[in-house]
Amino acid sequence: MTWILGLNAFHGDSSACLVHDGRLVAAAEEERFRRIKHWAGFPSEAIAWCLRDADITLADVEHVALNQDSTANLGRKLAYTLTKRPDLGFVMDRIRNKRERAGVAEHLARAFPGESFRGKVHGIEHHLCHLSSAFHVSPFDEAVVVSVDGFGDFASAAWGVGRGTTIEVEDKVYFPHSLGIFYQAMTQYLGFPHYGDEYKVMGLAPYGQPTRMDDMRRIVLLQPDGSFRLDLRYFRHATEKVEYEWEGGSPTVGTLYTDALVDLLGPPRAKDEPLTQAHKDLARSVQAMYEEAFFHLLDALHARHRLDALCIAGGCGMNSVANGKVTLRSPFRQVYVQSAAGDAGGAIGAAYAVWHEQGGARGPVMDHAYLGPAADGAEIARLLEARAAEIAAAGCTVERIDDEAELCRRTASAIAEGQVVGWFQGRMEWGPRALGNRSIVCDPRRADMKDILNLKIKRRESFRPFAPSILREAVPDWFELDGDVPFMMQVYPIRAERRAEIPAVTHVDGSGRLQTVYRHTNPRYYRLIEAFRDLTGVPMVLNTSFNENEPVVCKPEEALDCFLRTRMDVLVLGDQMIARLGSSS
């Protein structure tokens, strides 16, 4: 009976998970409890929830696995410091960071006074955690494994081959070269300054043309072995102190690009400046350059290893547009990306790396992401009773519907009538995507639904697309590619003849970031989409995260708060349907 606590700590998207005898039993990001997006620091709330969920204490945990190893790539670090002579602030920042990260046992003692941790702390190299997080929960016994991100343990990318329980890391790209830093710097340049804003550039890219590729190829230099380098004249991080804040709140990153980039590309866009066609063209060029470098690496790896399966992880593994093109633009025929491909997912990679180091066998395939907190019917009933007066004052009715078929039929009818429905069910999703348990669901057939959602709830940029959740067996009828995409991590082209039927989830380039829904992993969500199909003939719903400029809701009271302060029409909390007067279902 081995309990392993996996942690991503002291970095953005802090998280915790529990692996029990090789089985992932609980996982959650700290932001969901702190209510601060991408929360960075020590994930004490996520740890506490994992332990409560498993009904254990720290004394039961034999191993703590940390997504970081301060001794990794030490020779490279020393050589860089001696030869490049970065400024003193740059060096001291990294010394302080490593010292802070070293004391996991002390952090546990402070966060859990009175509890004793008698196990062992393991620091696992950052990219090995990424590779493990993808391969060790994948359906493949043998696969090429690739991790690409900003930086972790002095490297920005790593690749190799996974076989059984082992991963052989073949090579890495080391600091200061990084595709993640390239994309992040260009995201800042385009006027999106917040940590994690790269998805906005990805969403903007289809509105432009790749007119700046000559400039992009001056910045990112592809190498004959499949790797890449940066022209460091355009980046500050290699020799200057870039302002980073990773502790106790939302991560912040200072400006990464230099004046040389401004000389090359022209003035950067201010945060609130209108988006011009030139900005859209630059976004498309940034995405195209990332894909060019990514597929350059994949082609080299396939030629070297001749394996058909690929596992992708790292922050750049969140680039669902590139992921969706793997089987089109590379020789790989199968691809797996788990639901928390970024740094949060390093927690499960660290835990599995330790499990397999101890001789553990492969665990189950991760075919769903429902690993977080849940609320039972009694908890929901108590909440609604306590806030009955507030709900009534907001002009809402509450009805309990015990028959699941009827609940799904009523909800599907509301969706088909154009209503915006909050859908809170079961265990919260692991990773950044809402996958049918903490979702807002709408009618994909309505061309105006994107505007309705942005007006009523989301209040986000108009160019950002919404995604379809589709019954798995219906994928070939609606998309030009067929495949399993349970975590919304791949974008596929929608069949040309179908696009007019589902305009709310069809991006400007005719694509959609789909989620394939399965009866065996989420029977209630599957049944809801079936009910919508029976009413409309369309086997999918529009699915977006249940939040309003905040982390995805975790608890039922957060879902109710979001419902009451926005103009959402219906909220389905477990078996309870809360509807605004005038909203029929």
The pLDDT of residue 60: 97
Both 413 and 557 in one domain: the answer is: yes
Domain limit, last residue, from 316, 341, 366: 341
3-state helix, strand, coil in the chain (%, to 5): 40, 20, 40
d(CA 242, CA 244): 6
The pLDDT of residue 583: 63
The catalytic site residues sit at 11
Could you tell me if residue 364 is inside a domain?
no
Both 118 and 138 in one domain: the answer is: no
Could you tell me if residue 365 is inside a domain?
no
The pLDDT of residue 556: 98
Burial 260-291 (b: 16+ CB within 10 A, else e): ebeebbeebbeeeeebeeebbbbbbbbbbbbb
Both 77 and 159 in one domain: the answer is: no
Both 323 and 392 in one domain: the answer is: no
Could you tell me if residue 419 is inside a domain?
yes
Burial 437-451 (b: 16+ CB within 10 A, else e): bbbbbbbbbbeebbe
Could you tell me if residue 288 is inside a domain?
yes
Q: CB of 345 within 8 A of CB of 318?
A: no
Both 165 and 112 in one domain: the answer is: no
| Number of domains making up the chain | 3
- CATH code (residue 499): 3.90.870.20
Task: List the 334-336 sheet strands across, edge first.
Answer: 166-174, 155-163, 142-152, 309-313, 334-336
Q: Which stretches of the chain drop beneath a pLDDT of 70?
A: 84-102, 583-585
The pLDDT of residue 243: 85
Domain limit, last residue, from 60, 94, 129: 129
Please state, in angstroms and as integers, the Cα–Cα distance from residue 410 to each residue in 576, 581, 584, following that order: 12, 15, 9
In this structure, what DSSP letter does residue 360 have?
Answer: P
Could you tell me if residue 354 is inside a domain?
no
Q: CB of 452 within 8 A of CB of 445?
A: no
Over residues 188-224, the pLDDT tens digits come to 999 999 999 999 999 999 999 999 999 999 999 999 9
The pLDDT of residue 95: 46
Burial 542-574 (b: 16+ CB within 10 A, else e): bbbbbbbebbbbbbbbbbbebbbebebbbbbbb
The pLDDT of residue 474: 98
Could you tell me if residue 360 is inside a domain?
no
- CATH code (residue 281): 3.30.420.40
Domain that holds residue 11: 3-129
The pLDDT of residue 581: 86
Strand pairing partners for 580? 396
Q: For the CA atoms of 258, 263, 266, 267, what is the dihedral angle to 10 degrees?
A: 50
Could you tell me if residue 366 is inside a domain?
no
Q: What is the average pLDDT value for the chain, to the nearest integer?
A: 94
Both 28 and 173 in one domain: the answer is: no
Domain limit, last residue, from 129, 161, 188: 129
The pLDDT of residue 241: 87
Q: CB of 570 within 8 A of CB of 528?
A: no
Both 157 and 306 in one domain: the answer is: yes
Both 121 and 195 in one domain: the answer is: no
Both 534 and 484 in one domain: the answer is: yes
Over residues 427-448, the pLDDT tens digits come to 999 999 999 999 999 999 999 9
d(CA 562, CA 456): 11
Both 70 and 178 in one domain: the answer is: no
d(CA 546, CA 440): 5
Both 200 and 64 in one domain: the answer is: no
From 478, 395, 392, 469, select the one nearest 438 (Cα to Cα).
469
Both 153 and 205 in one domain: the answer is: yes
Tokens, residue 274:
């209108």
The pLDDT of residue 497: 98
Could you tell me if residue 351 is inside a domain?
no
Longest alpha-carbon distance in the chain: 70
Q: For the CA atoms of 250, 253, 254, 260, what is the dihedral angle to 10 degrees?
A: -150
The pLDDT of residue 81: 72
CB atoms within 10 A of CB 418: 14
